[in-house]
Each structure stands twice: as C-alpha cells, then as structure tokens.
Structure 1
Amino acid sequence: MSKADLFLEKKRRGEKLVVVTAYDAPTARIEAEAGVDIILVGDSVGVNILGYAHEREVTLADMAHHIAAVRRGAPQIYVIGDLPYATYDTPEMALASARVLHDAGADCVKFEGAQPDVVAALTAAGFDVCGHLGLESQHQEIKRRQGKTAEAAVKLYDDARAGDAAGQKFLVLELVPSELAGSITRSVTAATIGIGAGPETDGQVLVVNDLAGVTTRDFKHNRRYGEVGAALRAAVAAYARDVRSGDFPGSEHAFQMPADERVAFEKRLRERC
C-alpha cells in the first residue's frame, strides 16, 4: 500500500487529515514533530515568503527550491508540491514540470483547475496527483468564494468527479460552500482537503503564516492559533534596545583567550609598534 493509499484508507474510516503549508526546513521539522499528516508546499510561498505580488510570479525553480528545503526538514513526511502558473498547460508540460518537483522531494503534485487529461497523464506516469477546485489563485484575479450558484456548484461537482475518474488521489476545495464540499467529498474516491470549505471534507489545510499569526490580515476561513508575528516583532525590538543601550552582549555571551595566549598576542602587537 502506497503512502497515498494510507490516506485514502483514513478517508474510508472517517479519520480527518491534517494538512498545513511549509516553505522551509525548520518549519517543516516543527510541523512533522507536531504530528501533521501532510505538508503542502504551495505557490502561496510567493506572497508569504518571497514578497511577490501574485502567485503567478512563482517559478518552477522557486517551487523546487522550497520543496527541497521542506524535504530536508521533514524527511519522512508526505509532501504535496504545487505546479506553478503556466507549467501544466498541456500533459507534456505537466509531466516535465512534475519530474522537477518529484526530483526535489515532492511525493505528489498539485495543480489548479479541471484538466482530467493532465491528471490521467500524470497518473499513468506514476505520479500522485492532487487537484484543486474552487478559488484558483493562479487564474482568478479577485480572490472570492466560488460555487455560490446552483449552476456554478454543479460545474465544480462535475469537474471533481472528472478528476476523480482520471485518478487523482487528493482534491483541494477552496472557498466553496459547505454543502457543495460535502457532496463532492461523498461522491469521489479522492481524499478532499478543504480550506474555507466547511467541516465535511476529509481533511483541512491552512497556510502556516495565517494560523500562526505571522500575517496580520484576518481571513474568515482561518483560525489564528498563535501570535508568532507579534512575538517575533517584540523579540527583535527588545534585542535592538539592548544592543543600543549596551546591555547586549554581556560578558556571559563572550569568550576570552587563554591567559598565556593573550600575553603572547599582546607581546606580538607591541613588537609591531
């Protein structure tokens, strides 16, 4: 049984999957120690870490770089990596891009939108695939809830089933109504992972910067579990005050030469004068 199949077995047993993003080795190590099931290295790295204005700016090299860092930090964790914008327009492009992310350490590749032909090609080549429906940050200019009308909901439902038939193992549902997410979850074999999609999905994912309070903006779909940003800001401010006042470093933070070496050093300096 593959790693992905173990998660699908959890779906069948009704056990919730815990998914969270990470973009670097220390964070990945902490998340693995905390007991998460899956780490998602999302294209959200662009706006959360790299300072980009939009997810579209994220490159394949960016994703490979951060996936490799996460893999080093959490060697045993199951890692899903995002295929960035314009790297999976055709099955051939998707295969080439997936190989890059797999070589960097991804167990599974994720991409946005309904492209069952791409899912089928990746699956046939041996890749685990995660779909992503609802809000598609790479393709939608304004980030807003999706599937609000019956027509739009049916379209997303059909797209989810088409991806399922093509062999996807996971499906992220972002900012869709709870009723729709529940209907999709019950109708597909893939494990659904919700973000702003209510409690009926098979698992949940949040951006680590959002749940830990690194970001200052509040989102309806997020619960803030910490205030890391405020704590870090306070720590750096205290450090700055101590440096400027001369309170840091103290003698306990420094080391001295052995007495005989110090005498020899000072003698050599005098000889140069």
Structure 2
Amino acid sequence: MASRAAEFLNMKQQGEKFVVLTAYDAPTARIEVEAGVDIVMVGDSVGTNVLGYASEREVTLDDMAHHIAAVRRGAPDVYVIGDLPYATYESETQALASAALLVRAGADCVKFEGARPQIVQALKREGHDVCCHIGLESQHQQGKRRQGKTAEAAGKLLADALALDAAGMDFIVLELVPRELAATITKRLRSPTIGIGAGADCDAQVLVVHDLAALGTRDFKHNRRYGALADALRAAVAAYARDVREGRFPAAENGFPMEAAELAAFEKSIA
C-alpha cells in the first residue's frame, strides 16, 4: 500500500501549508478532524499533559499504544503520527520492534528525536513512515530551552536535518529553533518541516492541544491560546457542585418515573 505521507510531500511542493495538532483521546481527535486538522500527533507530551508524569522520559510504549489506539478510534481516517518514547529506539532492532507496536495500535507514522539516520534507514526498509525531531528534544535535554542560537549550533542542526533527509525521512519537527534557521532547513529539505516555536516558514505547524486551549497551567512564548477550556470546565463543574449541594440537580426532567401500575405492584410487593 502506498504511503499517505506522499500527500503532504505534494502539499509542500505546491506551497500549501498543513495543520498538525496533538490529541491523546478519541473525542479530542474527532473534534480536531471535524475542525480541519490534517494530521493528529500523539506525542510523548501525553505524559506531562494527561498522565501526570514529571517528564516525557516516564512515558512507555504501552502508554503510547494505548493513546494512539484511542485516537484512531475517534478519527479512523486521519493521518496519525505517534512518538517512540525515550530509550525505545537505541538500536535498529529495538526501533523496529517499537515502531511495529505503535503501527499495530493505529499509527501511520512513527517519530523519534535526534540525528539518527541509520534508524531512519532501518525503519524505511521495513516500510514505515518516519518523522524525525530536532532542536529541543524533551526526551534528551533538560529544560525547555531554545536551540540553534549560535552559528555553530545552527550549522549542526542544518547538517543533521540534511542527513536525516538523505536517509529518507518523511517529515521533521523543528522545535524552538530560530525562524531563520527553520526557513533555511525548510528550503533545503525535500521532506516537509513541522514547526513548533520555529517561525512561519515551516511547511506545517504543530501545537499541544492543551496549550492551544489553555487546559494546562503554563503558557509558552511559542503558543497562542485560542480558547480557555480550563476556565469553562472549572465554571461548569462549580455550577454542578452548587446545584447538587442545594438540591437543584437532578430536577424532575433529569429522571423518569415508573408507570403507575408498575409502581403500585412494586409498592404492594414490599408492603
């Protein structure tokens, strides 16, 4: 079966931007697709945004497979990129086994961090779509710091991107790198670039849905809050709690009575 990644390569070649957003569950994935998202990314950000982990390093393959499967159930036809968690792609053999698990769960493409062209080649030989990820690497770097700020560091990231492109990757995420560097990488690569905190010249953009919708407690310079779902949810729950305590919920319309004959029979049976 032909890879669906070709659709997005064609969009890059035509100069057409595409939209990527994270999701970790079925209803969120369904809503995102209905709203026009092109690719759903099930990132290891599930750890800190959903599972309560202290860092992305705690996310397991089973965690990722569980959430990829949920997203796939919610959005059967969308293109899904799934993250390979920390320390699950240290060798070609391990990367292939890890990727196979995520694909069985419903991923169309697997993503990993760092400049590892040999891992790209191994995955491509087995027919996997591959998304790479450079710049900020949450699995391997302490803190959420900008990358590629010096000429030397920028040159290294460009060289890494070119090597991964030559190895056959299908996409690359550029995270927290200067917009000039991201623009140069985007122009030099065959593969589409997906930016997060990397400027407007990337072929696509991705955000964490919890950041976009203000469901989390932190905001980031690279993010734009398009909603305030935490405030809305907090207000709804508070109103529910008040109504329960004050006897306003449930009301008559929130329940149903027994038919009169059945009620009479029931009352007779317990008399």
Structure 2 equivalent of residue 214 of structure 1:
215
Distance in 1 of aligned mates of 2:251 and 2:143: 52
Structure 1 equivalent of residue 251 of structure 2:
250
How far did 1:216 drift? 2.7
Distance in 2 of aligned mates of 1:249 and 1:159: 60
Q: Does 1:181 align with 2:173?
A: no
Distance in 2 of aligned mates of 1:69 and 1:129: 21
SS in 2 for 1:247: coil
Distance in 1 of aligned mates of 2:128 and 2:10: 19
Length-normalised TM-score, structure 1: 0.98
Structure 1 equivalent of residue 227 of structure 2:
226
How far did 1:215 drift? 1.2
SS in 1 for 2:113: coil
Distance in 2 of aligned mates of 1:73 and 1:196: 28
SS in 2 for 1:137: coil
- Please show how residues 8-157 of structure 1 align to structure 2 within 5 Å: 8-157=9-158
The one-letter amino acid paired with 2:220 is F
How far did 1:241 drift? 0.3
* Identity score, percent: 69
Distance in 2 of aligned mates of 1:75 and 1:96: 24
How far did 1:206 drift? 0.2
SS in 2 for 1:205: strand
Distance in 1 of aligned mates of 2:71 and 2:264: 49
Distance in 2 of aligned mates of 1:151 and 1:74: 42
Distance in 2 of aligned mates of 1:143 and 1:199: 20
The one-letter amino acid paired with 2:131 is C
How far did 1:36 drift? 0.7
Distance in 1 of aligned mates of 2:55 and 2:209: 18
Task: Confirm or deny: 8 A CA contact 2:214 2:229 kept in the other structure.
Answer: yes
Distance in 2 of aligned mates of 1:224 and 1:35: 18
What CA deviation, in whole Å up to 9, does each residue of 1:48-71 have, x standing for no partner? 000000000000000000000000
How far did 1:217 drift? 1.4
SS in 2 for 1:126: coil
Distance in 2 of aligned mates of 1:91 and 1:180: 30
Distance in 2 of aligned mates of 1:257 and 1:18: 51
The one-letter amino acid paired with 1:104 is A
Task: Confirm or deny: 8 A CA contact 2:132 2:172 kept in the other structure.
Answer: yes
How far did 1:2 drift? 3.2
